A and B are shown apart, each in its own frame.
Chain A
Amino acid sequence: MSTNCFSGYKDLIKEGDLTLIWVSRDNIKPVRMHSEEVFNTRYGSFPHKDIIGKPYGSQIAIRTKGSNKFAFVHVLQPTPELWTLSLPHRTQIVYTPDSSYIMQRLNCSPHSRVIEAGTGSGSFSHAFARSVGHLFSFEFHHIRYEQALEEFKEHGLIDDNVTITHRDVCQGGFLIKKGDTTSYEFGNNETAASLNANVVFLDLPAPWDAIPHLDSVIAVDEKVGLCCFSPCIEQVDKTLDVLEKYGWTDVEMVEIQGRQYESRRQMVRSLNDALERLRDIKRHKLQGVERRKRMFNNTIDSNDEKVGKRNEDGVPLTEKAKFNPFGKGSRIKEGDSNYKWKEVTKVEAEIKSHTSYLTFAFKVVNRSRDDEKVNEILRSMEK
């Protein structure tokens, strides 16, 4: 049994589990369950013991501080995509629109052996780890390496399918040898890890310095896919140069634009209602003018039913216009069932208009076949 919190599916929330507590969309907190502890929000405290034993996905209710209302949170099993929304940022991170495209384009599956540099905040690492056979992640910043190692251990990734190595890959390449600062566990007679990577992702400032080192660690008998993630077009330009020099082909650069929409409602306000409302106002105005005229001429007939009501000073009251189809003047909640609504979408107030350029390239190192083997197969088929 692996202790990986991110792969596999759990039914009940257990003591010691890492959970993600969803307070709101932009407030998702990683919390490990300890029956003695409580999870504090500004609405009140949620004791872990009230959470443990419930199924994942449960909504947990408490009485709010002060007022006699209820506050809720949802307790979720971590997924890489939720982790990306909640993780502690140590660097810029790769978000789901980019990472999901890269994984799809490089055909990620249990068959993939992935090199990633640098690890950064480990956002992409979690998505890779969920879907691929093995992930070799590299980070040259010592503190970030330590933090990521600790986090990956806690999440059960190291025991499962992730190796992290402290390395400047531009200087030292990707080979993992005995004595290196790495989470890799060497076998008895093993002196160097066999990476045999068929997917490479480079999210570092100078991918052109790292690319020349790839030849010694990528798989030789199959097509290897590479993606460089660079914010500036000048970086892409330099990368293209090195890619060509080192025999990478089918080069293509793309950009991903991800958008999110809010589901909203807009009141349906018809022309007829608008006209009717104006007519109504006009009618009342005229009536008011009439009344005032009569008042001025002091010819008020107290029997006039329309101006029956007067205030304490004996001044007659004018009725306000009554027809108010759009609820003007009162605060209407979007979707109020007394009104008609049209469902609409609204794009986020601030969009990520540029993340990075994604430069893809591919390489087949060994461009030959074993003729003998093919003939053998053919002969065996003839029988």
Chain B
Amino acid sequence: MNALTTIDFNQHVIVRLPSKNYKIVELKPNTSVSLGKFGAFEVNDIIGYPFGLTFEIYYDGEEVSSDENRDSKPKNKIPIGKVRLLSQEIKDVNNDKDDGQSEPPLSIKEKSVSLELSSIDSSATNQNLVNMGSKAQELTVEEIEKMKQESLSSKEIIDKIIKSHKSFHNKTVYSQEKYVNRKKQKFAKYFTVEYLSSSNLLQFLIDKGDIQRVLDMSQESMGMLLNLANIQSEGNYLCMDETGGLLVYFLLERMFGGDNESKSKGKVIVIHENEHANLDLLKFANYSEKFIKEHVHTISLLDFFEPPTLQEIQSRFTPLPKEEARALKGGKKNSYYRKLRWYNTQLQILELTGEFLYDGLVMATTLHLPTLVPKLAEKIHGSRPIVCYGQFKETLLELAHTLYSDLRFLAPSILETRCRPYQSIRGKLHPLMTMKGGGGYLMWCHRVIPAPEPVSENATAADSSEKLAEHGAKKQKI
């Protein structure tokens, strides 16, 4: 099975719930996944379907229902249901973003909800609707809870709720629809299984409230970073990532598309400020350990700027010929291989910090960029992009000024991109009433190689280059 397009065993996937929350789950064979109040399902039941489908959890009475049954299980155990594919219309209902403002036209397109409602009276306007709040609903919270406990299908619950709503018939079709949708989202037991793309992982983290951890990044800023940095499968990129590996996740997805079998040679070299790199989030990536080892290298700032010399390394350890090493026994063998690993890491540091020039520099760190970027840029090849993500414009501004006066950087600019979502329903198109703020900024420039200072009585290189640069400083459109 193709794990990039199909739900497969032993992979991490992201599950979207009716509440629009996300959950990351690992699909272990013969196990079940609990989605809390949205029910639970068997992993085996969803394997083999393509990504992007919505499943409904239903109970046909056999599995659970009885109270004795529940007592024998540990408390709070969610009963495991069966799954079936949900029709598309109900999924679409999800899109019905609650806006509460625009009064919609009455001619609503045929939708499952409207069909359900057709048997119930509705009012042409909401003139007679008195706002009674929760009083209008005769069912008590307890009663509804009880229905949930009884594992009634969401449809059954909603039917009962509608019947118990005193002024339901006074609502317009539109607001009836909205009411039903709201209840649906609350009681529906369905979920959508999606590929764990970089954007989905970011969405998951934002949703979870980890905004600070991801430095307030947005999908649009990351997308723009990848394009401006000209990320390709065969590139070697220097990177600093303070988000626990999210930036590296974005790079890897763009470079290899999650494909373990990729033949591409590109690498991401992660420079870290602590003793060890934090690339926690890569645990969700479906790359093999071998793949990660081949394509992601980590090196501390200290090792990067002050690498050991070959002599230093060799004075501390020299590998034995293979046969001799194999002949070692017990503790000696273990300690030999530990030292060999150390030795190989050191050699790799030499390789990564040697003459080699990288194809791009991408940064998401709160370290002081004006001191950091000019130093790291020594290792960047001419003509290659440098892109720094920053949560705040001001830190990038200081960086841009610093780079502007350094002839090794061409045209540093500060960019911002924001996505404005709309309520996307025919005849009711308008921007959503609220959206997430933030999203950060990008500094983009190219590494260049200044011409050797020409000898001249009348002019200096700096003079006229400034003049040319100034000439076009304004109005670059991207």
Contacts and interface: CB of A to CB of B under 8 A. Distances in A.
B451 A60 contact: yes
Contacts of A344: 397
Chain A contact surface mostly: mixed
Contact of A71 (B88, B199, B464): B464
Contacts of B426: 237, 240-241
Nearest to B222: A104
B352 to A, nearest CB: 17
A355 B325 CA distance: 65
Interface string B373-399: 000000001111100000001100110
Interface string B172-198: 000000000000000000000001011
Interface string B451-475: 1001011110101110111011111
Contact of A254 (B48, B195, B397, B420): B420
A291 B399 CA distance: 54
Q: Considering residues B50, B258, B422, B465, which has the most beta carbons from chain A within 10 angstroms of its beta carbon?
A: B50
A97 interface: yes
A59 B417 contact: no
A250 B256 CA distance: 26
Contact of B197 (A97, A107, A255): A107
A84 interface: yes
A27 to B, nearest CB: 6
A362 interface: yes
Interface string A57-85: 11111001001111110111101110011
Given A24-B469, A107-B197, A109-B254, A240 B48 contact: no
B26 interface: no
Contacts of A59: 407, 448-451, 465
Nearest to B461: A70
Contacts of B393: 261, 345
B128 interface: no
Contacts of B473: 24-25, 262
A81 B477 CA distance: 11
A79 B230 contact: yes
A221 B195 contact: no
Contacts of A350: 475
Nearest to A59: B451
A151 interface: no
B478 A58 contact: no
A222 B95 contact: no
B85 A57 contact: no
Interface stretch (A29-37, A170-178, A270-278, A371-379): A371-379
A319 interface: no
A260 B446 contact: no
B264 interface: yes
A138 interface: no
Given A96-B227, A130-B232, A367-B53, A55 B381 contact: yes
Given A58-B451, A343-B401, A100 B258 contact: no
Nearest to A98: B417
B232 to A, nearest CB: 6
B262 interface: yes
Contacts of A343: 394, 397-398, 401
B23 interface: no
B395 to A, nearest CB: 11
B91 to A, nearest CB: 6
B228 A96 contact: yes
Nearest to B472: A24
Contact of A251 (B95, B230, B232, B415): B95
B400 A27 contact: no
Nearest to A236: B429
Contacts of A257: 417-418, 420
Contacts of B244: none
A366 interface: yes
Given A64-B464, A109-B257, A349-B475, A103 B227 contact: yes
A253 B429 contact: yes
Interface stretch (A7-15, A152-160, A203-211, A307-315): A7-15
A263 interface: yes
Interface residues of A, number: 103
A76 B445 CA distance: 12
A265 B401 CA distance: 9
A357 B419 CA distance: 11
Nearest to B199: A104
A249 B88 contact: yes
Nearest to A219: B5
Interface in A114-156: 127, 130-131
Interface in A243-291: 244, 247, 249-263, 265
Given A99-B227, A101-B419, A221 B451 contact: no
B78 to A, nearest CB: 23
Contacts of A201: none
Contacts of A223: 5, 50-52, 195
B211 interface: no
B1 interface: yes
Nearest to B465: A72
B475 A374 contact: no
B51 to A, nearest CB: 5
Contact of B382 (A57, A84, A101, A107): A57
B341 to A, nearest CB: 31
B428 to A, nearest CB: 10
A110 interface: yes
A229 interface: no
B100 to A, nearest CB: 19
A106 B385 CA distance: 24
A71 B467 CA distance: 9
B478 A262 contact: no
A77 B467 CA distance: 24
Interface of A: 7-9, 11, 22-27, 43, 54-61, 64, 67-72, 74-77, 79-81, 84-85, 95-97, 99-101, 103-105, 107-112, 127, 130-131, 198, 219, 221-223, 233, 236-237, 240-241, 244, 247, 249-263, 265, 343-345, 348-350, 352, 357, 359, 362, 364, 366-371, 373-374, 377-378, 381
24 contacts: A22-B410, A24-B473, A55-B381, A57-B382, A57-B448, A59-B449, A61-B451, A75-B383, A76-B410, A97-B478, A99-B227, A100-B220, A101-B220, A107-B195, A107-B198, A108-B254, A109-B259, A110-B255, A244-B92, A254-B422, A256-B418, A262-B413, A263-B401, A378-B44
Given A11-B381, A253-B422, A256-B220, 4 more contacts: A56-B382, A97-B224, A222-B5, A254-B421
**6 closest Cβ pairs, A-B complex:** A57-B382, A24-B472, A104-B223, A109-B257, A223-B52, A57-B383
Interface of B: 1-2, 4-6, 9, 29-30, 44, 47-53, 85, 88, 91-92, 94-95, 109, 195, 197-199, 219-220, 222-224, 226-228, 230-235, 253-259, 262, 264, 359, 381-385, 393-394, 397-398, 400-401, 404, 407, 410-422, 424-427, 429, 431, 446-451, 454, 456-459, 461, 463-465, 467-469, 471-478
